[in-house]
A and B are shown apart, each in its own frame.
Chain A
């Protein structure tokens, strides 16, 4: 099975910073990758699908890029409400594995 590895596992940044989270697949998955945001105690929320398509209603400061094995989620200007754990997920074929998560905090 294809493994999904996120880095870093945790991240602390200041309001207004540009933040980048990476996700690496152990084999190529084309662009069949989604990013989710999960705030503490809440249901996961889809941010990005097809590696770079912004889900409706998601703020434009979020963007995704990549194809094949290497992907990034970027927050262009970190806001206090972005404190959350972020997950990538592959869905090119089963199993639809998640990355282990990146916990983002405000410095």
Chain B
């Protein structure tokens, strides 16, 4: 059974940092991209970014709203992906989901999602 479990959420002050983790099981982690998506309270879904598999260089893509502040990485030996979130802003508040990305090419669609972890940025 495919499972993705996020952790690391919580309360952070504006300008501070948080690192979220996504622990995966039930599939060959290194064969899939990993995406991060978020949802502000009462709002729609927003794509944050993703990391490709090693065969595509493990490269990353980001939404303009987080580029330069967030960094996605992966450790295939541990089946864990991370998003390092720096210079947090109040508008980064929301539930953060990691998801498995299935790709026949360079960019994936997201087929399995974790339960999400809540990030609150407030002073």
Residue from A43, A49, A93, A94 in contact with B97 in the complex, judged by beta carbons closer than 8 Å:
A43
B residues within 8 A CB of A101?
A: 44-45
Q: Is the interface of B mostly helix, strand, loop or mixed?
A: strand
Pair A32/B107 contact, Cβ less than 8 Å: yes
Pair B115/A96 contact, Cβ less than 8 Å: no
Chain B residues bordering chain A, tally (CB within 8 A) = 25
In the assembled complex, B47 has its CB within 8 A of some CB on chain A: yes
Interface Cβ pair total, 8 Å cutoff: 63
C-alpha gap A49/B35 in the complex (Å): 16
In the assembled complex, B116 has its CB within 8 A of some CB on chain A: yes
A residues within 8 A CB of B9?
A: none
Q: Which of A76-97 contact B (CB under 8 A)?
A: 85, 87, 89, 91-97
Binding site for A on B (CB under 8 A): 35, 37, 44-47, 49-50, 61-64, 97, 102, 106-116
Binding site for B on A (CB under 8 A): 1, 32, 34, 36, 38, 43-46, 49-50, 55, 85, 87, 89, 91-101
